[in-house]
Amino acid sequence: MRLPLALLPLFALVAGTGAVATGLTRADPPAAPAPKAVPPRVKLAVLVMFDQLRGDYLDKWRPLFGPDGFARLQADGAWFANCHYPYATTTTGPGHASVSTGATPARHGIVNNNWHEKGRDTYCAASDRYTFEPAPPRATDPKTGKEVKPPDAGNPERLRAFTLADAIRRAFGEPARIFGLSLKDRSAIFPVGMNPNGAFWFNGRFVTSTYYTGRLGRPFPAWVSRFNDEKIADRWFGREWTHFRPGLDYAAHSGRDDGAGEGGGSKQARVFPHPTTGGLKAPGRQYYDALANSPFGNEMLLELVKRCVVAEKLGADDVPDLLTVSFSSNDLIGHTWGPDSQEVLDVTLRSDALMAELLRFLDRQVGRDNYALALTADHGVCPLPESPTGRARGAKRVDQTELQKGMEKHLAAAFGGADPNEKKTAWIEAVSAP
């Protein structure tokens, strides 16, 4: 899977400390730092990931970008235009874990977003050992009246390799400030490893889990509480998502607005302009789904990023800090409308402008020479089977239910039917996509 990767020397800040962040297992921790570490070259390292930002987007749409976003990274930093993930299941969980550890899923253990383990579906970044913080309101089943079991809460315990964040913590101790921010829990959790100051993700408000506030003893920050209390997430309710550049011929650079195979999101329609209410009259779950499934989700996350840098004084002293930011809306949009859509072109143009704003903010707040930033994607995406590109490559959709029936029939013919004395009635116990 080909990806974009732009960076200023992010790994330089651990040079000379004896700590290395690539390919280390939890059973084989980094070596202890040298007594006199070389002073860090930067005060703040920033790792930015755009979920599903396919590598060719920054090539084919390069003439459409401004000078201060992606182009600045290409001009002022190192630009690797031919990067590939060397494993098959390039989904969000494995991507974030691989970038953060320098290891592949066979080593770091995050083989997919979900997999079947010990008779149940297992999610890569959550378990019932922890609860959300702030705690969600209690819910009852309207049919039975019984209290609904709260969902599993995020944590990094299935990650089996050390991250860059873990190396920074080991090298510089508690004075190093480490935060992970995203709309998705796994995208906030894996990049900051086992012992960050905080990881926060969005489920209608920004939350964390008792892994961080309880096990690690990290207080829930006042600046996140204020962000939630001010209802920043409601700011985009009712605002239509229109073309970022109305004068641009979008069809010439992507595809037609109502392409084959496109979806409609959370009652957002297939074509521009896209409403952002989720079909509601006031903010609620469907609206927050629509918000995340639009460029406004990225804008909201950028607001949280700015508050984190200011409130936590990241990059304010000589002990290096780490901030990881994963913008999830690109991925949600890509899955809904497809990579050849005007929506993906639009969110990519907006992502370029967003990066320009982030870089300007860091220049002002931290100082242009005091931070290093790396940008990449966790994975790419294939064309929609119904799209012209997909059809040209012979792509089609396969009904998973029918596929599984065919597999069962073949296995039964080859090896016989299921043992009538056993409770098992099928050869295939479970399927984890893809």
Catalytic residues: 92
* DSSP-assigned letters across all residues of 333-369: HHHHH-TTSHHHHHHHHHHHHHHHHHHHHHHHHT-TT
Q: Which pair of structure tokens corresponds to residue 175?
A: 């004075």
Contact between 271 and 258 under an 8 Å Cβ cutoff? The reply is yes
d(CA 408, CA 424): 13
The answer to whether residues 336 and 241 touch, using CB atoms and an 8 Å cutoff, is: no
Quote the distance between the C-alpha of residue 303 and its chain's center.
Answer: 17
Identify the CA nearest to 335 among candidates 92, 35, 42.
Answer: 92
Sort 58 into a burial class: Cβ within 10 Å, 0-12 / 13-18 / 19+.
Answer: buried
Report how far residue 324's alpha carbon sits from residue 309's, in angstroms, rounded to the nearest whole number: 11
The Cβ of residue 245 has, within 10 Å, a number of other Cβ atoms equal to 13
Q: At 375, phi and psi to the nearest 5?
A: -125, 135
Answer yes or no: are the C-beta atoms of 345 and 254 closer than 8 Å. yes
Partners of residue 154 on adjacent β-strands = 126
User: How does DSSP assign 212-256, residue by residue?
Assistant: IIIIS-PPPPHHHHHHHHTTGGGGGTT--B--SSTTS-HHHHS--
Q: What is the DSSP letter of 211?
A: I
State the Cα–Cα distance between residues 295 and 290, nearest whole angstrom: 10
Q: What is d(CA 71, CA 61) in angstroms, rounded to the nearest whole number?
A: 11
3 state SS of 6: strand
Contacts 24+ apart (CB under 8 A), 180-183: 180/323, 180/324, 180/325, 180/326, 181/301, 181/304, 181/305, 181/308, 181/323, 181/324, 181/325, 181/326, 182/301, 182/325, 182/326, 182/327, 182/328, 183/292, 183/297, 183/301, 183/326, 183/327, 183/328, 183/329
